[in-house]
Every structure is written in structure tokens, then in C-alpha cells.
Structure 1
Amino acid sequence: MRYSDGGGLSARGRAKREAVRHQAAGWFAQDVSVPEVARRLRVSQTAVYGWRKRWRAGGEQALASKGPGGSH
């Protein structure tokens, strides 16, 4: 998700979202399907497909928070 204001999240909020992505990475490694990961995390399949793509390209570190936006 990219928002000019960082999604309006505090550092704590960004950390929480990052933790969700890292949980998804664990399931990707176990070959859990995208629909099942989305259901477990209560997020959209679109989001999970994006996370999985990043995870496949760069591993778990690719799912790390990039910090607050607005500096582009």
C-alpha cells in the first residue's frame, strides 16, 4: 500500500502491518494458498498476492516496512 502520508499510520501501526506480512511469509514458505492466507489474516487476496510476489523476489526482508511515506 502506498499513500503519500504513510497510510496515516504511526510507527506502531506500521510495525503491526509488517508483523502481518511476516506471518504471511511463514505461510508462503509452508505453501499455504493465497485465498487461505487472506482468510486467516482477514485481508484481501490482492494484498496477499502482492506480498507473495515481493516475498518470492526478495525473501522476508522484502516485506519489511519502508517507513513513513511522503518523502518522495
Structure 2
Amino acid sequence: MRFNIYGRFQVDVRRDNDAWAVYRAELGKRTLCEDVVIPPDVPADELATYLDDIFHEYAGHGDIVESMPD
């Protein structure tokens, strides 16, 4: 699943075995974000809310984390 983080950058979140893996998506390449950890029990439909909690310091007034089509 791909997410637009406040229009500043994008991340791909993938299920890897029993854990979530987060990748920074930039111009045709993906880089693992080892410092972003999503607990394995977070459901897929709550990922945008969880990412909003993690990255809220990047948000401006009215900014949101948006799910993007793959």
C-alpha cells in the first residue's frame, strides 16, 4: 500500500512475513525505512491513521495522510 505523507513524500507499506515493512518511495526506487516501525497487530485499514501519528510533525494545518493507488 502506498501513502502520500502530507504531500511531502511517499511511503510503501508492505507485509513481510508477520511484520509491516516501510519503504520510502522516491523517483523509481524504494529505500527501507528502518527507523519507522509499525506494530504487527495494526490492521491494514488503520495504517493511514498510524502513519499520521508517526509523521504528524511534518503536517501543516489541514494536511492529511492519503492512501494512494498501487
TM-score after normalising by structure 2: 0.32
- Structure (1 or 2) with the greater helix fraction: 1
- Structure (1 or 2) with the greater strand fraction: 2
Q: Which has the greater radius of gyration?
A: 1
